[in-house]
Amino acid sequence: MKRFCNLVKRHTLASCLVLLGLLVVSVILGIGLGPVSIRFSDVYRVMFHRLSGIFTGQTAPLESIRESTQNIVWFLRAPRVLLGALIGAALTLSGVGMQAFTKNPLAEPYVLGISSGAKLTVSLAMVGLLSRGVVMSSGGMILAAFAGAMLSMGFVLLLSRWLHQMSLLVVSGVMIGYLCSAVTEFVVTFASDANIVNLHNWSMGSFSGVSWANLRVLLPVIGAALVGSFLLSKPMGAYQLGEGCARSMGVNIRAFRTALILLSSVLSASVTAFAGPISFVGIAVPHLAKGLFGTAQPILMIPACFLGGAAFCLFCDGLARTVFAPTELSISAVTAVLGAPIVIWIMLRRRLRPEKNSITHIRGCYVNEMGESVAQFDQSLALMTQEETETLLALLRRTLSGTLGKNLLDLSFETRQVVEGEEHRRLMRLRDTALKDEEAVEEFFQLVRQSLTLEGNYLILLVYDRYDVPYRAKDGERQEDAAAEVYSYLLCSICPVKQTKPALSYHVRENEFHNRRADWLVSPPELGFLFPAFDDRSTNLYNALYYTRDSGENHPELVEAVFRREAPMPAAAQKETFQTLLSDTLADECSCEVVQAVHDQLCELVEEHRERKEAEPLTLSKGAVKCVLKSCGVSDSHVEEFALRYDDAFGADMALSPRNLVEKQIEVCTPDVVIKVSPERSDLVDTRVIDGVKYILIRADEGVEVNGVPVHIAK
């Protein structure tokens, strides 16, 4: 209760009041509106009189209101409205449970075929009993529906062992639903009894013909389910973070899954038994509630979905009764008309994002400063708000940012590693299992923790994604309807987690200042990698793309542990080594003019490469560097000495990136003075020896300022 109160902020309380208000209005309108119009004052008087009579024992009708009106209110519309509210709440809670269990945003009893299975068993049971002259009780209908729901759920769970893609699993559920519906229609069509033929209306979904006796059966079931949902809210929240995190928090995974399946099946069975199958409520309402409250925490989502589902179903029932009155529409048809666009919007929003990702979940491991795993999680993007999802994806995109050769380094595997290397086999296992192999994921996290030296706490993010590579014709035009290859890859991001300082923050909604407590924030990634590489529009299993935020530190210990390769020399180390090599080998020829000339030529190569817009990064071999030195006036002997020392410093086969060797400005430093000049105007700086004293001369033809004050240079 304390946790709930802490979560309820002002906007959350306002959202709850809005849902409660919508529910109250829906109840009043549902009782008052219909083919026979009844004043709301009469509705209030009848309901108040009847409810008070239950406690006082006075059941005599009111004399001021016609008895027929009272009967319509109390015996026809009131139980229908209350049943509709309970059914809406049950469908929504069942949808929340299904989505949490399957980690699938499109999971709900109707879509997965569970409601159709319940409909089938109820139809068969009613046909069998009515053929013998036995009327099926409400409790018997619930038991029959529960059996059918469990059978359909079993088929879905069985298929989930082989179908790991969300779309295929949903399609399979739809096919199961169609199969069950076909068998049901066959049974109903060839029934001989008139009462059995009436099953057709029930199979389309309807709240008509409900009595208070039905409510006395349904109310305890829904009430118990609501209590059970609240009891499962804490383990459900832990389960959203991943099975590993849930186990570390003391959650019995097997017992939790069993309870969640039973709870969702009982709810869907109860609905199907009394109202028939009703579609899309279990999908649409949870997503609307999540958007309204801005959170996916079960302790808030459960009461929100309970109120929202009840109000949504009553609204749909009102439309079904009044739009074409006196003809009454199927409640399932109305919920489909209103709920299906919401489902379509959910799918489009996930696909038509700027990043157009197909990531379904993210694996993570939170590591403390001692290198110990604090928690692991498997976070579903469907259970996160849009803002949280975009923030998380932004962190992942940073892992592919920066300059090739500087922040993004190419790592190549040897053929021996690809064929039989354990390090390559480990990465392929993670990719091929789409991060569903718990042992492989845990092994990878442990390997990173044991090898990586990183100050403070950090977060390891690991995702799997697929990309349909579009086909390009010879003219370069993109063919959207064709894909030559499906590129599947792993993306790993390692992000420092830092603690913020307490501060005073301004809340726009409340127009007030509040104290912000210290909190732990995830910083942009420090390092990461993409495996396999994506070269020439195809998968390259021989390479990986390694990311480092700091060009001076590429964490070679991680490269050695994960890839069993020597880490490429950092950009800063390349620059420093190159500068030292020039100084040591050129000796007396290492003048200001020569260094400026080398810098200018390297800048020209970079600029030409940029203008050509070539995809491949610019690199210089040892031979190319020798040519640059010769063109700058370095003698052949010094060039050959440079080449010999190059092998020791870099390796004979290593190519250098000119971007790593040059700066945006030429910097001339003495112990007391630092001069920075744009490369385009390096001719303004010269060195001279005057009267035995060394000078750095700067031509000052234009205006000169000292501390922002224009000064004159005396002739």
The pLDDT tens digits for 246-291 are 776 778 888 887 888 788 878 877 777 777 778 778 888 887 887 7
- Amino acid of residue 562: V
Higher-pLDDT residue of 224, 111: 224
Provide the CB-side half-sphere exposure for 490 (13 A, CA). 28
State the pLDDT confidence band at 481, using cuts at 50, 70 and 90: very low
Q: Is the pLDDT of residue 306 over 80?
A: yes
State the pLDDT confidence band at 9, using cuts at 50, 70 and 90: very low
- Inter-residue long-range contacts of 430-435, CB under 8 Å, 24+ positions, other chains counted: 430/462, 430/464, 430/490, 431/464, 431/488, 431/489, 431/490, 431/531, 431/532, 434/164, 434/464, 434/488, 435/361, 435/363, 435/462, 435/463, 435/464, 435/490
* Buried/exposed code over 593-623 (b: 16+ C-beta within 10 A; e: otherwise): ebbbbbbbbbbebbeebeeeeeeebbbbebe
* Helix, strand, coil fractions of the chain, as percent rounded to 5: 55, 15, 30
Q: Is the pLDDT of residue 3 over 50?
A: no
State the pLDDT confidence band at 8, using cuts at 50, 70 and 90: very low
Work out the average pLDDT over 93-120.
Answer: 76
pLDDT of amino acid 445: 92
State the pLDDT confidence band at 191, using cuts at 50, 70 and 90: low
Higher-pLDDT residue of 196, 487: 487
- Global pTM reads 0.52
Would you say 28 and 40 are in contact if contact means Cβ atoms under 8 Å apart?
A: yes
pLDDT of amino acid 34: 72
- Inter-residue long-range contacts of 688-697, CB under 8 Å, 24+ positions, other chains counted: 696/592, 696/668, 696/670
Work out the average pLDDT over 438-446.
Answer: 90
Work out the average pLDDT over 541-558.
Answer: 84
pLDDT tens digits, 43-78: 777 777 777 776 666 666 676 777 777 777 787 888
pLDDT of amino acid 354: 42
State the pLDDT confidence band at 200, using cuts at 50, 70 and 90: low
The span from the CA of 354 to the CA of 568, in Å, is 33
Higher-pLDDT residue of 173, 528: 528
The span from the CA of 157 to the CA of 112, in Å, is 10
Q: Is the pLDDT of residue 493 over 90?
A: yes
Q: Is the pLDDT of residue 4 over 50?
A: no
Q: What percent of the chain has pLDDT over 70?
A: 76
The C-alpha torsion from 87 through 88 and 94 to 97, rounded to 10°, is: -150
State the pLDDT confidence band at 386, using cuts at 50, 70 and 90: low
pLDDT of amino acid 461: 92
Helical (H) or strand (E) element with 53: helix 40-56
Least confident segment among 483-492, 547-556, 659-668: 659-668
* Buried/exposed code over 94-113 (b: 16+ C-beta within 10 A; e: otherwise): bbbbbbbbbbbbbbbbbbbb
Q: Which residue, among 44, 79, 36, 78, has the nearest Cα to 64 in the 3D structure?
A: 44
The span from the CA of 559 to the CA of 224, in Å, is 54
Q: Is the pLDDT of residue 664 over 60?
A: yes
The span from the CA of 217 to the CA of 270, in Å, is 10
- Peptide bond before 710: cis, by omega within 30 degrees of 0? no
Work out the average pLDDT over 452-480.
Answer: 72
pLDDT of amino acid 241: 64
The span from the CA of 361 to the CA of 462, in Å, is 9
Least confident segment among 126-135, 438-447, 690-699: 126-135
Would you say 135 and 125 are in contact if contact means Cβ atoms under 8 Å apart?
A: no
pLDDT of amino acid 679: 67
Q: Which residue, among 270, 284, 287, has the nearest Cα to 337 in the 3D structure?
A: 284
State the pLDDT confidence band at 330, using cuts at 50, 70 and 90: confident
CA 249 to each of CA 25, 99, 103, 236, 238: distance values in angstroms, whole numbers, following the listed order: 41, 21, 19, 11, 7
State the pLDDT confidence band at 600, using cuts at 50, 70 and 90: confident
Work out the average pLDDT over 694-709.
Answer: 75
Packing angle between helix 78-102 and helix 212-231, nearest 10 degrees?
30
pLDDT of amino acid 669: 76
Q: Is the pLDDT of residue 463 over 70?
A: yes
Beta bridge partners of 669: 674
pLDDT of amino acid 201: 58
The span from the CA of 172 to the CA of 4, in Å, is 38
Q: What percent of the chain has pLDDT over 90?
A: 3
Higher-pLDDT residue of 306, 467: 306
Would you say 238 and 3 are in contact if contact means Cβ atoms under 8 Å apart?
A: no
Return mean pLDDT, the chain: 76
Sign of the CA dihedral 284, 289, 292, 297? Answer: negative
pLDDT of amino acid 458: 92
Q: Is the pLDDT of residue 350 over 60?
A: no
pLDDT of amino acid 460: 92
State the pLDDT confidence band at 447, using cuts at 50, 70 and 90: very high
Work out the average pLDDT over 316-339.
Answer: 80
pLDDT of amino acid 495: 92
DSSP H helical segments within 352-477, as ranges? Answer: 386-398, 415-420, 422-432, 438-451
